[in-house]
Amino acid sequence: MLTKRQTRAFFYASSGIFALIFLGLTVDAHRQVPTLTNEANNTPEVIAGKHVWHRKNCVNCHTLLGEGAYYAPDLTKITQQRGSAYLTAFLKDPTKFYSEERDRRIMPNQNLSDLEIRQVIAFLDWVSKINTQGWPPRPILVSGSATPGTEALAGPPRPAASNDPIALGQALFRTTTPGCFTCHSTTAGVTLVGPSLGNIATIAAQRIKDPNYHGKATDAASYIRESIADTSAYIVPGGSFSAGGTSFMPPGFGTSLTAQQIDELVAYLSTLR
Amino acid sequence: MRHRTQGVAYAYFVVALLLYGLQMVFGLLAISKYLGPDPIRDWLPFDRVKAIHTNLLIVWVLTGFMGATYWVVPEESRGELYSPKLAYWSLGLWTAAGVTAVVGYLFGWTEGNKLLEQPFPVKIAIVVVMLLFLYNIGMTIRKAGRLTTTEGVLVAGLALAAILYLPALVTFNNYTLSIYYRWWTVHLWVEGVWEMIQASLLAYLLIRLSGADREVMEKWLYVIVGLTFIAGILGTAHHYYWIGVPGYWLPIGGIFSALEPLAFFGMAVYAYSAIRRSGIAHPNRLALHWAIGSAIFSAFGAGILGLAHTWPSVNQWTHGTMITPMHGHMAFFGAYVMIVLAVITYALPQYFDYPEEHRESAAGLWAFWLQVSGMFGMTMAFAAAGITQTYLERILGIGYLDTQRKMQVHYLMLVGAGILFVLGVALYLYDFFVVAPRPVRADTRRHSTADIRAAEA
């Protein structure tokens, strides 16, 4: 049987060895962090945004890189799901976008200045590009669904929380007939039936410069408007989206929706960058 | 009390338990916000409540550790405390810093770094108190000229806890680095040096309560803390999976985290075999409840429930879900709350020089069983919520808000179990402050146990 002397030696040796290994690995990890986190882009604006993040105690409701509290959505990739226009409008007044009655909770208004909003969005954008070893393996969404067929589980469509055109458009996205959401995900890279609209505003701005584009749109907003009203004005490449030059998207939205409703949809979709 | 100056511990226990009670208020507030809607969100939002709930835990458990050390060290070293006055002054400073932090959080004064939210001046006060404490204890041991293994491990644990708090004073511009070093404090505390404290207090109590042989107990104590560090130091890696550090932390974290339950199981076996081999040699069975409870609950909460989500291919789905508080609540309760309550329960009758048998009060036993079953229920509620969230939100890809609405039933369960738990805490406080005997006159304390028994008969 072991003696006390031997067990003491075991304690000192094992603690010492593993502490040394840990310190050694830390030196190496610390050395690699600048590359893995794109340290060059950690600008003063991003750092100022990090201070906003800490000062407002964000981490005690939200998770970031999956760390924090579990009372509010993870924000690791939020800037890749919502553009800065949306996030700015949201931070100015969260009650315009979500309803406390429905979700049982809502973000209190943090009364951020325009500058602070810009900074914290810059910070979140920098975080969203950190090399996280592939985490999360599937997009973590704030609301809605990324998986075909599961929208129904999410419950009835949410009414718009305010008269803001973006909020109205977001609500309309789920209430049109047929519902936009049944074919289009708003998550980049997730294709349901039609093309993903995850970053449609960015794609639209590029597409109108594409030599294969022959429509009438002159900017991202007018492209989005055209693709709703005249579904075959431009055909997105991909066998499952069209046949014989005709888009599979139902053509009736130009007449079934009012001009104002289309404006609202365009306002909402333009925030998806 | 074998030594007059051990009595300093009582003041620490009073502060610790009052803060424990306050922690419950904020716990209940937090869970009520999950049920929502929240009428007070504009002046007391969830983030402040949550920060206060967790910070109160850390402060009161550390207060309990310090009190326990002031109790244990004079007895182990067989000498009086170096300076009781210094101990009272540092308790005053400590309480002031703690209360300042809590009031500050109410008004949004925070560094907003999870679990290390303490504003910089408060952090400095914490370091000062730790140093005063270590100085006082160090001088006591030096003066007495006797250092047992049990107290050595205890004091080393507290000294290392103070050292590991230092990274919390540094600010990093890179968020990844600030998370990286934050875990040096948080993880290496709770899955490293705090375990040394738990294991040594457990050893102290088992030696006192079971009559187990000191040599044998201290021999195995080294093995337990050795196992703790083998697994715990590199186990830090399970916090380094997805935060922007190299990928080699994934296999390291998976393997060494899987070893972490060993030390906790070691402690459970340690407690069981001590009782089995040496029987129960002490009438304070209530303290034994808490001591054995700590060994068993930490094996389950810290050991098994920790392992439940540290393997990388599991953690990629569970990371940042309700699975984490499932593990966190039971681990903290089992490992640290229960061991502090065990020492308090053990010390109280001796402090008042009262018959030990009288400690097995009905209120004391109810306090134990209500807390144990309440915490078990809360853990199950968190687990159900966490599994729901993992499958719906992370695997099926349903939005966070929509998933949360599906979890309301688990939050109701959490409220129910939480109320049981809080009742248990309230009874513990009632038992400590009201039921527990205290001298009516100043000279009662000098009465021997036999005198009191005779007077009662």
pLDDT digits (tens, 9 = 90+) for B244-265: 999 999 999 999 999 999 999 9
A70:B322 CB<8 A: yes
Bridge partners of A243, per DSSP, are A246
Q: Residue B318: inside a domain, yes or no?
A: no
The pLDDT > 90 percentage for chain A reads 54
Q: Residue B33: inside a domain, yes or no?
A: yes
* Phi-psi category of residue A183: left, alpha or beta, with phi > 0 → left and psi -120 to 50 → alpha: alpha
Task: Give the C-alpha separation, B450 to B353, whole Å.
Answer: 10
DSSP-derived 3-state class of residue A67: strand
B179:A105 CB<8 A: no
CA A257 to chain centre: 27
- Tokens representing B337 are 């709350």
For residues B385 and B414, is the Cβ–Cβ distance under 8 A? yes
A57:B117 CB<8 A: yes
Exposure pattern of B66-95 as b/e (b: 16+ CB <10 Å)?
Answer: bbbbbbbbbbbbebebbbbebbeebbeebb
The ranges of chain B with pLDDT < 50 are 440-447, 452, 457
Quick: pLDDT tens for A144-172: 776 655 555 556 666 777 888 888 998 88
Between A192 and B285, residue with greater pLDDT: B285
Between A213 and B29, residue with greater pLDDT: B29
CB nearest B236 (choices: A22, A56, A74): A22
Quick: pLDDT tens for B179-223: 999 999 999 999 999 999 999 999 999 999 998 899 999 999 999
B111:A2 CB<8 A: no
- Angle, helices A4-36 vs B214-235, to 10°: value is 10
Q: Is the ipTM of this complex over 0.85?
A: yes
Q: Which residues contact A9 (CB under 8 A, 6 or more apart)?
A: none
Q: How many domains does chain B have?
A: 1
**Most A CBs within 10 Å, among B35, B174, B217, B257, to test the A interface:** B174
Task: Indicate whether A113 pLDDT > 70.
Answer: yes
CA distance A98 to chain B (A): 10
Query: What value does the mean pLDDT take over residues A57-62?
Result: 97
CATH 3.30.1600.10 for the A39-138 domain, yes or no: no
Confidence of residue A231 (pLDDT cuts 50, 70, 90): confident
Q: Which of B130, B103, B128, B132 is nearest to B117 (CA)?
A: B103
pLDDT of residue B195: 96
Angle (nearest 5°) at CA B314 between B312 and B315: 60
- Tokens representing B257 are 């985290």
Quick: pLDDT tens for B135-170: 999 999 999 999 999 999 999 999 999 999 999 999
- Tokens representing B189 are 């505390």
The Cβ of residue B233 has, within 10 Å, a number of other Cβ atoms equal to: 23
Which residues of chain B are within 8 Å of residue A57 when distances are taken between CB atoms? 47-48, 51, 108, 110, 112, 117
Task: Give the C-alpha separation, B125 to B97, whole Å.
Answer: 6
CA distance B27 to chain A (A): 13
Q: Residue B121: inside a domain, yes or no?
A: yes
Bridge partners of A68, per DSSP, are A63
DSSP-derived 3-state class of residue A242: strand
Task: Indicate whether A116 pLDDT > 50.
Answer: yes
CB nearest A133 (choices: B113, B242, B408): B242
A106:B35 CB<8 A: no
Which residues of chain B are within 8 Å of residue A18 when distances are taken between CB atoms? 229-230, 233-234
pLDDT of residue A71: 97
Count of A-B CB contacts under 8 Å? 251
Domains A39-138 and A151-269 share a fold: yes
Between A150 and A88, residue with greater pLDDT: A88
DSSP-derived 3-state class of residue A247: strand
Task: Give the C-alpha separation, A8 to A14, whole Å.
Answer: 10
pLDDT of residue B455: 52
pLDDT of residue B311: 97
The Cβ of residue B1 has, within 10 Å, a number of other Cβ atoms equal to: 17
CA distance A241 to chain B (A): 23
Angle (nearest 5°) at CA B236 between B379 and B49: 45
CATH architecture group of domain A151-269:
Orthogonal Bundle (1.10)
Which residues of chain B are within 8 Å of residue A11 when distances are taken between CB atoms? 222-223, 225-226, 229
Domain containing B23 equals 1-147
Bridge partners of A64, per DSSP, are A67
Which residues of chain B are within 8 Å of residue A56 when distances are taken between CB atoms? 112
pLDDT of residue B451: 53
Angle (nearest 5°) at CA B440 between B434 and B441: 155
pLDDT of residue A191: 77
Q: Residue B324: inside a domain, yes or no?
A: no
Q: Taking the model in full, what pTM does it have?
A: 0.86
Task: Give the C-alpha separation, B283 to B281, whole Å.
Answer: 7
Task: Give the C-alpha separation, B308 to B85, whole Å.
Answer: 46
CA B236 to chain centre: 19
Beta strand segments in chain A, E = 63-64, 67-68, 242-243, 246-247
The pLDDT > 70 percentage for chain A reads 95
Which residue of chain A comes nearest to B396, CA vs CA? A147
For residues B134 and B158, is the Cβ–Cβ distance under 8 A? yes
A70:B325 CB<8 A: yes
Query: What value does the mean pLDDT take over residues A190-198?
Result: 82
CB nearest A7 (choices: B175, B222, B252): B222
CA distance B157 to chain A (A): 13
CB nearest A18 (choices: B47, B234, B250): B234
Cα distance between the two ends of chain B: 24
pLDDT of residue B354: 79
Q: Residue B86: inside a domain, yes or no?
A: yes
Task: Indicate whether A187 pLDDT > 90.
Answer: no
Task: Indicate whether A181 pLDDT > 50.
Answer: yes
CB nearest B244 (choices: A50, A71, A131): A131
* Phi-psi category of residue B423: left, alpha or beta, with phi > 0 → left and psi -120 to 50 → alpha: alpha
Q: What is the mean pLDDT of chain A?
A: 89
Q: Residue B384: inside a domain, yes or no?
A: no
Which residue of chain A comes nearest to B235, CA vs CA? A22
